[in-house]
Amino acid sequence: MKLQVRSTSVAMVAGAMFAVAFVSANVVAQKKTAADVAAKFTGTWTMQAAANMAPAGGRAGGAQRLYEIGFFSEFQGRGGGGAPGGPGMDEGEKAGQAALAKIQQLGRTVTIKATAESVTFADGNGERTYPTNNQNVKTDVGSGAMMTTKSRWDGNSLKQQFIYGETSITQNWELSDDGNQINFKMQILNMSRQESPKEAKIVYERQTTAAPPVAR
């Protein structure tokens, strides 16, 4: 009887140790550093789908309006997607509004180069780099107009915020678990108005280079 109790105790201890080791291994495997995530973001991405979007001229608010004002760079100039401006606007205000419009214009193909410390985007709007230290960066976007930008890594996501005047634009780039898809969401909020933010969602998929044909 004593031998049986002792064997059972040993089995229980061994099982507990295995469970702890299994959980610890999973925690280590699931814990990703900013450098790990940045490496997976690096590459060329192609737009595959758009959620809650309507063709330019469609009668709807929110995301549909983002489409009209040039959310896709190919539609710049339609429905007010050209250079912002108007009577009564000084040069600084025009520059600030133009900078906000440009943030909303993403190319169908974008190349990302990312590290733990920064991220660089290259598309039809040129190349732009942001530090990912979650610190406010003030940039003169023209004629003295100052825009505040902040970027950070958050798990599998890159989170960004752009503020000019009373307008706040947030962008969330969320990487899929397999590293082959980015779910992008953008919200535009006028901080002085009591209204829900305008929102748009799109999906990017990693662009892969096909292997060259084998010579025969």
Half-sphere exposure of 3 (CA within 13 A, CB side): 0
List, in sequence order, every beta strand (DSSP E) within the chain. 43-51, 109-114, 118-123, 126-131, 137-140, 146-154, 157-164, 167-175, 181-190, 198-206
Residues of the domain holding 181? 32-206
How many residues does the structure list for the chain? 216
Q: Is residue 79 part of a domain?
A: yes
- Euclidean distance between CA atoms 75 and 79, whole angstroms: 9
Q: Is residue 43 part of a domain?
A: yes
| Structure confidence by residue, pLDDT tens digits, 74-109 | 333 333 334 455 667 899 999 999 999 889 888 889
- In the DSSP assignment, the letter for residue 72 is B
Number of compact structural domains in the chain: 1
pTM: 0.72
Q: Is residue 130 part of a domain?
A: yes
- Euclidean distance between CA atoms 45 and 174, whole angstroms: 13
| Structure confidence by residue, pLDDT tens digits, 142-189 | 999 999 999 999 999 999 999 999 999 999 999 999 999 999 999 999
Q: Is residue 91 part of a domain?
A: yes
- In the DSSP assignment, the letter for residue 86 is -
| Structure confidence by residue, pLDDT tens digits, 130-139 | 999 999 999 9
Q: Is residue 139 part of a domain?
A: yes
Q: Is residue 120 part of a domain?
A: yes
Q: What are phi and psi of 47, to 5 degrees?
A: -65, 130
Q: Is residue 8 part of a domain?
A: no
The CATH number of residue 119's host domain is 2.40.128.20
